[in-house]
Structure formats: structure tokens, C-alpha cells
Structure 1
Amino acid sequence: MSTAFDLEVNSREGLGKGHSRRLRRQGKVPAVLYGGGESPAAIFLEHDKLIQQMENEAFQTSIITLNMGTETQSVVVKDIQRHPSKRRVLHLDFQRILADEKITLIVPIHYSGQEVAIGVKEQGGEVAILISDVEISCLPKDLPEFLELDISSLELNQRMSLSDIKPPEGVDILALTQEQNPSIVTINPPRQEEEDEIPELAEGIVETEDGEPIADSTKAEPESPPSEGTSEDSN
């Protein structure tokens, strides 16, 4: 069962980009609440309190209780719009949930046993995660915070697929119900550090500090033998 979260929210009458900008300047986050057989409702909540709860990874995969005055509503997060460069939430979409109605959510995959995997510990490979989350369907009471896969038995160049995950009872992995079973993790061979080959310089050639080849002035060129018919001593 997922972790419980509570948020205080208020209804808002103003709509449009201008109203949303004013709310953000006041430290609020505009949001919308929909689903559950009811009409959509425009709401807002405190940005800083929201950020505190979002620090928990389970926030996006848990049942959240919205408190609006004396009323409460159980919801899940369906979409979060974030600022592209700042630690700021711009907008939220909440979906109402019903106890007897299945919901679909994207949950993270936790890969356990990475450091002790055979392909890592004994064969020196590196874990490569190909898929980090997956969409599931279940009743609210069965909603998991994450799915887990133990890869400790994985060897070098081997792969594990989505079907290797054993979800909790009552939880369906949607891709598998659609006959899709992609690889999700593998162990690659260790990276080979390629050293640049240094060409061997010809005899009598050295390099300057800039790497330019020049003749070695410390090695004198051999003297040419005297020509035939000439004498080294002049008369």
C-alpha cells in the first residue's frame, strides 16, 4: 500500500493565464481536479508545502488526500508542469479516485542487487538501465509505490525483460497486456580506455614543447669523405 499524503487546497474562481500568474507570484500553485464522475474543479495550493511533500519519490505514485474546508477528496497526481530551470511547480492535475475503479499510473522500477550482480562483481561489467519506469493498472488499494526487480543473477551481456518483474497481486503492467515485452536492463562489458598511439619519430628527430618535430641539433651530421685526387694539405 502506498504512503499517505495530505494537502490543503482552496477553490479558485479565476481562470486563464493571467490569474495563474498572479497566484504563482503569491506563492500558490494553480491546479485542476477532475474525474470520479464529477465536473472538473479549479483549485490552488501552497507551493512550499507542496514541494516538501514532493521530495518523497512516492508522492507521484500514492493516494493523496485533498482537504478543502470540511470536505476531503482522495486523488492521484496525473500531471505536473515544472519550470524548465527553477525548482518550481507551475501547475498540477489531480484525478479523483473511486475505490472500485481501476486507475493507471506510471511507477518507477527499482533495480536491486546491482553491486553484487555476477556480471558486475565477478566479470567487471557495468549495469545499463534501459527503462526506469512503467505504466500500471490497479485498484487504488493495490497501488504500489514502485516495482522491484532483483538483478543479482544477471551476467555479462545478458538482459532482463519487462516480464521478469513480478508485480504485486492485483497490479497489471499495461505493456505486457498489449503483448509488448521490451528489454529493461543489461550488463555491458567494461569500457576500454583507448590510448592514442604515439608515432615513433625518425632517428635524429625530436619534438618541441608544442609537439612539432625538428632535427636534433645535438647530433652532428657525419663529415663527407674527401674527394679522390685531392689532398687535405695545401701546398
Structure 2
Amino acid sequence: MMAEVTELKAWARERSGKGGARSVRRDGRIPGVIYGDKKNPQPITVEYAAIDHQLHTGHFQSTVFVLDMDGAKTRVIPRDVQLDPVRDFPIHVDFMRLGKDALVSVEVPVRFLNEAASPGLKRGGMLNVVRHDIPVRCPADAIPDHFDVDLTGLEIGDSIHISSITLPEGVRPTITDRDFTVATIAGRTADEGPTGAAAAVPGAEAAAAPAAAGEEKGKEKKDEKAKEKK
């Protein structure tokens, strides 16, 4: 299932700087810029309400939009959103133009199915999600809406790795140096699963995962921005 393309109304922005930005926000809009596809950056404004709504979907930066500026339509994907440091609402947004056959790096959410069919979960185990989203590179016209993980038959101590998830054609994980863990079935107590070192693996991996994922995501985003601006 592929993500849908959403259309947004946009306007060319003549005034730049802080004064221009404040004037735009008073009119209920957000300043932004379109860049990429070997064209000059174009200052724009977009409706605040539309951007705020899209941010609450949880997958704003993995959604392809069509910006309609007086009938001229440009296909883009959000690359950066600046939020007010105090009130946490959007104050600026950057979009990248998508040319023909463009590839993009995005994070696709994971859905876990058939928990009732997992013997480990039935016995009191816990689904320990290491990655709620999978970073991938794919065609802009074929961004997956989500990935499904089937928990059928999984026992306490089992792990789900990226290799066990079927990815659509043309979609590749951006982490290529290892078969990284997406989730584990962890035991609530020591006697519910394997003992000793084997029992500690799922919990230990999950505990280390948030920090490791944060470092990876920071590096991935820096590399992605460097590639896009070329």
C-alpha cells in the first residue's frame, strides 16, 4: 500500500527576512522555501492550518505533496520543519522538488499484526518495539504507507529483523551494514523464557536500541541532506 499524494495551496513570497515572516504569519500562513531539482530556491507561503493538520498525521515528512501556486503545480516532499521553541507550532517549512524518477529517503511506520497468534505473547511476554519506523530509500512515486510485521508463531526470545520484512520492489533500507532488529518478544520474568545470557539478549538489545537509533538517524539525515542539495 503506497502513500497518497496530497495537494496544498501555496503562494509565491515576495518579502523575506523576519519582518516578512511576521507579516505572513499574521495572515494565517507559514513562510517556506522550495529547493532542489537543479532549480533556484523559491520562497513561498502555505496555509498554517493545512501544515498543522498534516503534522498531526505523524508522517508529514514521508508524504509527497503537490503545491498549487496559481495553477502551476510542483511535486515536493517536506525536508525540514521549524517549530516555535516555546509553543511548539510550525513557523517555517522547507520542501524539496521531486523531478522525474526521483529517489527519496523517508521513514516508514511499522504495523504489528496477529498478536493473539503469538505463543510468546499469550504466555505473558511483551512486544518490545525497537524501531517504530524503518528508514528506507525508494522512488518518490512509490513510498510505502506502512510495513506489516506478522507476529504469528513467535515465542519469547524471538526477534524480528529487517530481513524478515518483505519490502516492495525498489524499496531498500538505508542501513545496509547489518540485519538490524525491529522488535523482540521479551519475557516478563526470567522463568518465562530462556535463562542466562540468552534471556538477556532481547532486553539488552532493546535497551541499547533507542540511543543507537538516535545516532543512526542523525547521521542518516545529515547524509540525506548532503545528497539532496547536490
- TM-score category (smaller protein): 0.7 to 0.9
Residues 43-122 of structure 1 aligned to structure 2 (within 5 Å): 43-84=44-85, 86=87, 88-121=89-122
The separation in 1 between residues aligned to 2:113 and 2:86, in whole angstroms, is 31
1:25 aligns with 2:26: yes
Higher relative helix content: 2
CA contact (8 A) 1:63 1:76 kept: yes
Distance in 1, matches of 2:13 and 2:26, equals: 15
Secondary structure of 1:175 counterpart: coil
Partner of 1:188: 186
Q: What are structure 2's unaligned runs of at least 5 residues?
A: 191-230
Identity, % of aligned pairs?
Answer: 28
- State the distance in 2 between where 1:115 and 1:30 align: 47
Q: Which runs of 5+ in 1 are unaligned?
A: 193-235
CA–CA distance in 1 between the matches of 2:134 and 2:53?
Answer: 25
**How far did residue 101 of structure 1 move?**
2.5
**Given residue 158 of structure 1, which amino acid in structure 2 is its aligned partner?**
D
In 2, distance between residues paired with 1:19 and 1:72? 24
Larger Rg: 1
Q: What corresponds to 2:14 in structure 1?
A: 13
Q: Secondary structure at the match of 2:93?
A: strand
Shift of 1:141: 2.2
TM-score of the superposition, structure 1-length normalised? 0.72
Q: How many residues align structurally? A: 189
Offset, 1:87: 5.7
Give the deviation of 1:82 after TM superposition: 2.7
Q: Decide whether aligned partners of structure 1 residues 118 and 87 sit closer, same or farther in structure 2, where only a CA change above 3 A counts.
A: farther
Matched position secondary structure for 2:115: coil
With structure 2 as the length reference, what TM-score do the two structures score?
Answer: 0.73
SS in 1 for 2:175: helix
Q: Which structure 1 residue ranges, 4+ long, deviate > 6 Å from structure 2?
A: none
1:160 and 1:86, CA in 2 relative to 1: closer, same or farther beyond 3 A?
same
